[in-house]
Amino acid sequence: MIQVQPFESLGGFRNEWLNAKHHFSFGHYHDPKRMGVGGLRVWNDDEIAPGTGFDPHPHRDMEIVTYVRQGAITHQDSLGNKGRTEAGDVQVMHAGTGIVHGEYNMESQPTRIFQIWIQPAQRGVKPGWGSRSFPKGGATTLTALADGRPGADGSALPLYADAAVLAGTLQKGQSVRQPLRPGRVAYLVPATGSVTVNGVPVNTRDGATVSGETDIEIVATEDAELVLVDVVG
């Protein structure tokens, strides 16, 4: 089964520096029918104005993945970590027993990110943060950017969750197949472009929930950049 959440129907929040869209209930946006997919709890589509950002604030017992779509995000936290993650790359924060962090757009242009929260498989882990550059997947596979699934080969940033965040780019007419094991669900968002998912159209920044399928065929109807979360249902 494939359910599409059109971008225009997403919840949102906007002020002088942040333009946010929420795929699931978050902050002041609450929809009891949109509380997440399996262990995937939050998918925010944020545009952050230059020279602004999220001042230090606490988290605990959550795996927080930030995928940078445009510009760069600068992270700093209470553990002393500091780093800049550029477009196409990903950072992972393990909130664990507790961490305070801030995220800023120190660039001269808007920064656009997907921020993805996944519930951990175990609570009270040691907090941490990491960032890594990854080549984007080609037309035959999606690249695992962060992976905590059993059997993960260690090439991706680790997650304390039975989940993976994957990404790739397709040119118009190209396709990719992604297996989906029994008991798992996938949530896919085209950061740019449009695709079909097992024949169902999914447009730019729409969200598609895939469940009850063992194989996902993604076909680009125009050049597309994809982000997909594979998680226990």
Instruction: Spell out, as residue ranges, where the chain has pLDDT lower than 70.
Output: 136-139
Return all residues near 28 (Cβ < 8 A) that are at least 6 apart.
13
Q: What is the DSSP letter of 142?
A: P
Backbone φ, ψ for residue 14 (5° rounding): -145, 135
Q: Quick one: pLDDT at residue 138? A: 60
Q: Can you list the domains of the chain with their CATH numbers?
A: 10-132 (2.60.120.10), 143-232 (2.60.120.10)
pLDDT tens by residue, 37-70:
999 999 999 999 999 999 999 999 999 999 999 9
d(CA 183, CA 161): 15
pTM recorded for the entire structure: 0.96
Backbone φ, ψ for residue 8 (5° rounding): -65, -20
Q: Quick one: pLDDT at residue 139? A: 59
> Which amino acid is located at 149 in the chain?
R
d(CA 17, CA 54): 10
Is residue 194 within 8 A of residue 224, CB to CB? The reply is: yes
d(CA 82, CA 92): 13
> Quick count: other Cβ atoms within 10 Å of Cβ 22?
21
Q: Quick one: pLDDT at residue 141? A: 81
Q: Quick one: pLDDT at residue 50? A: 98
